[in-house]
Structures are given as structure tokens and as C-alpha cells.
């Protein structure tokens, strides 16, 4: 639903509310218009769209009406000037942002503001296949087959769009067909049932459960797009209770995949996994997972080439953003379309991470080379490790890795013994060791350094960490520039060489 305010002439979209409980903690008005705030696990959230370029006023109110005595807004680096007025926090922005707001001692409130949509298809336009015309059940009462039926029909006319109107759609596996687009209108929710009988089991993870790829691309396909302001809901906790799990959105064995604007939530396993993809662009994606479901990674890019992830937020217990390569026909890799591939030219830009493990990570799998991987302009709201390289499995090489313009705001706990703003290290778990070469860490604000020393550590003379350049690393609350590894709290440096600090 689109609302228009008079004061700021901003168009705003109410969050999808199908099956969602309204927040008991926060209300929000945007230019005087009330938004639907959603209650969720450990944090609440709101989703909306806004016109950019003009000031848009946000008024967050605490529903217990207690005065606001403390607050912080992430990303802290943004020039947002907020003020407390009784039980309201007020600020204005000209650009849409993904924000995490902490007020008093309450749970966090996540604001997911996107620019206005472009190129919205008509539900009855030419070459638009409305799922309601194919018998899709928009009430969620049955496991609908209408969306796949619409997709199969659209595939006969390359370039067609499958249109999902507002509603709740319980759905089995969905195969995205060659040269088709899936449009999820605001207010539409695709929901995983959590019942293993409704799905085709594709893999078994040895330390967890059997699983499936819920929404995946056709192999050897081209030009597939998933977009809109709708929600892909993995029903993760209930799925895990049924001893099952699913990757939610899986572009696999495809070329020129695009995803824009959707909200992905409550994953029972890795949420979004580009697997052996060539050229993919993922933008304006919002991944909201729980903290009581393990291994619920946000975006894992696997054995792919030319992948761009821009303007994203990923929240959950496990890694927010990561890259991996794996061996063939082992556990989760059984359904992969091709033999193992190297990973090259992967780029994460302007993302926000909140995790109990890593915010941004290369690894743990490095069974094939990973080269030219860049994480830049990233913010870590909170994590055990801000960012780094964990070469844990495999004997291939990680090289030409860059972390640029990163901001680590808070750290807590540890991830497999690591608890630092950055860590680069090689482990031996009996599944191979390999080198890490040519790493650039530049323009980093480590507001928190972590409870343990940072690592630049290889394993042996053939699995060294080498050629690491650290430039303009600012540590602590005062942002003092560090001039040595010691000032950066990098104390573990065995089997490392050619480490440079440049200021």
C-alpha cells in the first residue's frame, strides 16, 4: 500500500503485515503518517519506501510512554542529528537508509527504508502473469501450486513477469524459469510451511538436518530477476523444530541474475546463496533472521564470478555476509549444478551487519581459490568478529582480498575462539590448509577492538598469511590512528610475512 503525505510529498509503503504481530514497543510516524511496526525475535522492525532528495521526518515513539533518556542510531557514521522529545525520538533524512535504533534499555528497532520503486509492473499488463489467474491461494490456507503454474506459463514467453499480489502464499519448492522475472508486490508474503513432506529434499548436513533449496533458478538459465517489496518468509524456527531446513533464495547455475528490494526473513539455514553463478546483482535486500536458530547466514556467495551485493542489511545469529568454496558431492554441495569452481570478483558494498559470529567473512570453506573479493563501506552494528578471513577447510588460496572503509561499532562474545575487530588466520582441521596472500585493510574505524587479540596468522611455511597492508586504521572511541600492530591489538602473527602498516 502506498501512502502520500502532504508535508514532505513523500510516498511511503506500509510493511507487509500478513501473519505479523504489531510491535508492543515502538510506534513510528513518517511525515505524520503512521507506519505498521512489526514485533520480531530480539528486535522489532518497520519496512517502508520514501522519496529521496527532500527531508523526511521520522518520529519513533516508545509505546510505554517513558521518556527517552538514551539512544544511538546505526550507522553511527551517518550525519543524522536526532533529538529526544519526551517519549519520541525525532530526526530527518534526505536519503533512504537501513537503520538500527537503540532506545533506553529496549530491544532494537530496525528501520528498513528504501527509495521509491521503479518499473513496477501492472498486475494485468502485457506479458504479466498474475498468480491469482493460475489458482494461487492468497490466504495461506493451502500449499499453493499457482505460483509455479504461473512461472511455467511465463517461461513460454521469455521476458515475462510473474506477478504476486498482496496476500499470504504458503508454497512448496519454486523453480524460477529461464528469462523470467518474479515480482513480489508490497504486502505479498511467500511462506515456507516448515513441513518436510511439502518439499523435495536435496541435501543432508552432517551436523544438522536434511534440507532443500526453496526458491531456486533453473540451471543453465539467463536473465532471471526477483524484485519488489514483498517478503520471503522461511518460517525458520518451526522448520528447525521439524528437523528440517532450507536455503531460501538460491540463484544456482545461472547467468545475469538480479534481485532487488525484497525482504527475506526467518531462515532455517543460509538465507540467500548465489551458487556457481556468473554475473549477479543483489541490491536493496533486507535479511532479518533470528538469534535462536543456528547457521542462519545472511548472504553466502559460493563459487561464483562477478557478483555484486549493494545496499543490504543482514541480521541473524550466524555470519551476515560471506564467501565460500566447497568440495563436490558432500552434504550441502550434492545439488550443485557443476563441478567445484573458483570464486572471483565478488563485491559487497554499503552493507549493514549484525551477527553473533562474523559481520563479513571469507571462509570457512576455501577448497577452491577465492580471488578478488572486496568488502567496502560496510558497517558492523554488533558481532563477535567484525570482519576477516577464516581459512578453515581446504588447501586452495585466498588472494587479493580487500576490506575498505569498514566501521566496526560494537563487538561481543566470540566465534570459535575469535573475538576481535579483524582476524585473518589459517586453521588445520584435517581438511587441508592453504595460504592467504595480498590483503588490503584500508580506512577502518574499529570503535570496539574485541575481547581477544586480533590475528594475522598462518599455519605453516606452506600456508602463510603474506602481503597484508594496513592503512589508516583508527582504533577506539576516540578514533586514534594506530601506527603499529600492537596499537591495533594484532598480537597473533605466527607464520606471517610482509605485513605493512602504512599511514
For the beta carbon of residue 59, count every other beta carbon within 10 angstroms.
17
pLDDT in tens, 440-451: 999 999 999 999
pLDDT at 132 over 60: yes
Closest to 321 measured CA to CA, from 355, 344, 366, 345: 355
pLDDT in tens, 51-73: 999 999 999 999 999 999 999 99
Backbone phi, then psi, for 218, in 5-degree steps?
-65, 135
pLDDT band at 19 (very low <50, low <70, confident <90, very high): low
Distance, CA of 414 to CA of 453 (rounded, Å): 11
Strands (E), 218-357: 221-222, 225-228, 231-233, 245-250, 254-260, 263-265, 278-288, 299-302, 305-316, 321-325, 343-355
Instruction: Tell me the pairing of strands 181-184 and 167-171.
Output: unpaired
What residues pair up with 348 in beta bridges, in sequence order?
309, 375
Q: How is 112-176 classified by DSSP, letter by letter?
A: EEEEPP-SPPPTTSTTEEEGGGGT--TEEEEEE-HHHHHHHHHTTSTT-EEEE-SEEEEE--EEE
Query: If you average pLDDT over residues 466-491, what whole number do you get?
Result: 97
CB 180 within 8 A of CB 226: no
pLDDT in tens, 213-245: 999 999 999 999 999 999 999 999 999 999 999
Distance, CA of 278 to CA of 139 (rounded, Å): 37
Residue 128: per-residue pLDDT: 98
pLDDT band at 7 (very low <50, low <70, confident <90, very high): very low
Distance, CA of 301 to CA of 247 (rounded, Å): 12
pLDDT in tens, 160-170: 999 999 999 99
- For residue 30, CA distances in Å to 39, 61, 260, 328 come to 18, 11, 23, 50
Closest to 397 measured CA to CA, from 434, 344, 446, 350: 434
Residue 206: per-residue pLDDT: 81
What residues pair up with 74 in beta bridges, in sequence order?
100
Closest to 23 measured CA to CA, from 92, 114, 103, 78: 103
Distance, CA of 405 to CA of 490 (rounded, Å): 19
Question: What is the DSSP secondary structure assignment for residue 196, as one 8-state letter?
Answer: G
pLDDT at 15 over 80: no
Residue 337: per-residue pLDDT: 98
Residue 18: per-residue pLDDT: 54
Omega within 30 of 0 (cis) for the link into 334: no
Instruction: Tell me the pairing of strands 210-217 and 203-204.
Output: antiparallel
Residue with cell string 586514534: 480
Domain regions of the chain by residue span: 2-115, 120-266+287-339, 356-503
Q: How many alpha carbons lie under 13 Å from residue 485 in its C-beta half-sphere? A: 16
pLDDT band at 10 (very low <50, low <70, confident <90, very high): very low
Mean pLDDT of the chain: 95
Helix residue ranges, H only, 352-493? none
Residue 13: per-residue pLDDT: 38
Residue with cell string 555476509: 321
Which CATH architecture does the domain made up of 120-266+287-339 adopt?
A: 3 Solenoid (2.160)
pLDDT in tens, 334-367: 999 999 999 999 999 999 999 999 999 999 999 9
Instruction: Tell me the pairing of strands 480-481 and 465-475.
Output: antiparallel
Calculate Rg over the CA atoms of the chain. Answer: 22
Distance, CA of 206 to CA of 200 (rounded, Å): 18
What residues pair up with 366 in beta bridges, in sequence order?
325
Total-model pTM = 0.95
Residue 224: per-residue pLDDT: 98
Residues 6+ apart with CB under 8 A from 433: 391, 395, 426, 427, 459, 460, 462, 463
For the beta carbon of residue 416, count every other beta carbon within 10 angstroms.
14
pLDDT in tens, 319-339: 999 999 999 999 999 999 999
Measured at the alpha carbon of residue 79, what is the angle toward residues 73 and 82, in degrees to the nearest 5?
Answer: 50
Distance, CA of 20 to CA of 17 (rounded, Å): 5
- CATH: 3.40.190.80, 2.60.350.10, 2.70.40.10, 3.50.50.60. Which one for 2-115? 2.60.350.10
H or E element that contains 439? strand 436-446
Residue 20: per-residue pLDDT: 78
Amino acid at each position: 500500500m502506498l501512502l502520500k503525505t502532504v508535508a514532505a510529498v513523500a510516498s511511503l509503503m506500509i510493511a507487509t503485515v500478513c501473519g505479523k504481530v504489531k510491535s508492543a514497543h515502538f510506534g513510528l510516524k513518517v511525515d505524520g503518517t503512521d507506519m505498521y511496526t512489526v514485533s520480531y525475535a530480539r528486535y522489532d522492525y518497520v519496512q517502508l519506501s520514501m522519496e529521496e532528495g527532500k527531508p523526511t521526518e521520522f518520529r519513533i515513539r516508545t509505546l510505554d510512554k517513558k521518556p527517552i533518556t538514551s539512544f544511538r542510531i546505526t550507522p553511527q557514521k551517518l550525519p543524522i542529528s536526532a533529538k529526544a522529545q519526551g517519549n519520541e525520538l525525532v530526526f530527518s533524512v534526505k536519503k533512504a537508509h537501513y537503520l538500527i535504533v537503540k532506545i533506553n534499555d529496549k530491544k532494537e528497532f530496525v528501520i528498513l527504508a528504501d527509495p521509491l520503486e521503479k518499473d513496477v509492473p501492472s498486475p494485468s499488463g502485457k506479458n504479466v502473469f498474475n498468480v491469482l489467474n493460475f489458482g494461487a491461494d492468497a490466504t495461506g490456507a493451502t500449499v499453493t501450486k499457482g505460483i509455479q503454474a504461473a512461472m511455467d506459463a511465463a517461461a513460454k514467453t521469455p521476458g515475462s513477469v510473474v506477478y504476486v499480489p498482496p496476500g499470504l502464499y504458503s508454497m512448496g519448492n519454486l523453480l524460477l524459469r529461464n528469462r523470467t522475472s518474479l515480482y513480489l508486490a508490497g504486502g505479498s508474503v511467500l511462506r515456507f510451511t516448515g513441513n518436510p513432506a511439502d518439499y523435495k529434499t536435496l541435501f543432508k548436513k552432517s551436523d544438522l538436518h536434511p534440507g532443500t533449496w526453496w526458491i531456486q533458478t533453473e540451471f543453465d538459465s539467463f536473465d532471471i530477476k526477483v524484485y519488489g517489496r514483498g517478503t520471503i518468509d522461511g518460517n525458520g524456527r518451526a522448520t528447525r523444530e521439524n528437523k528440517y531446513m532450507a536455503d531460501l533464495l538460491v540463484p544456482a547455475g545461472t547467468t545475469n541474475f538480479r534481485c532487488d528490494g525484497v525482504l527475506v526473513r526467518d531462515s532455517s539455514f543460509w538465507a540467500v546463496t548465489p551458487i556457481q553463478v556468473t554475473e549477479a546483482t543483489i541490491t536493496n535486500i533486507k535479511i532479518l533472521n533470528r538469534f535462536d536458530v543456528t547457521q542462519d547466514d545472511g548472504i553466502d556467495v559460493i563459487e561464483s564470478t562477478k557478483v555484486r551485493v549493494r545496499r543490504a542489511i543482514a541480521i541473524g545469529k550466524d555470519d551476515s555476509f560471506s564467501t565460500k568454496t566447497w568440495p563436490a558431492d558432500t552434504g550441502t554441495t550434492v545439488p550443485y549444478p557443476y563441478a567445484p569452481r573458483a570464486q572471483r570478483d565478488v563485491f559487497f558494498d554499503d552493507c549493514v551487519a549484525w551477527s553473533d559470529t562474523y559481520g563479513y567473512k571469507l571462509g570457512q570453506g576455501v577448497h577452491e581459490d577465492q580471488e578478488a573479493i572486496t568488502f567496502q563501506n560496510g558497517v558492523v552494528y554488533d558481532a563477535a568478529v567484525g570482519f576477516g578471513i577464516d581459512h578453515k577447510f581446504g588447501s586452495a588460496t585466498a588472494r587479493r582480498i580487500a576490506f575498505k572503509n569498514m566501521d566496526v561499532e560494537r563487538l561481543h562474545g566470540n566465534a570459535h575462539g575469535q573475538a576481535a575487530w579483524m582476524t585473518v588466520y589459517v586453521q588445520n582441521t584435517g581438511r587441508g590448509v592453504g595460504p592467504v596472500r595480498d590483503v588490503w585493510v584500508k580506512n577502518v574505524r574499529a570503535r570496539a577492538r574485541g575481547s581477544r587479540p586480533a590475528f594475522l596468522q598462518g599455519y605453516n611455511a606452506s600456508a602463510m598469511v603474506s602481503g597484508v597492508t594496513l592503512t589508516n586504521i583508527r582504533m577506539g572511541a576516540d578514533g586514534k590512528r594506530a601506527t603499529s600492530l600492537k596499537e591495533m591489538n594484532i598480537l597473533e602473527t605466527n607464520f606471517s610475512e610482509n605485513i605493512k602498516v602504512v599511514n
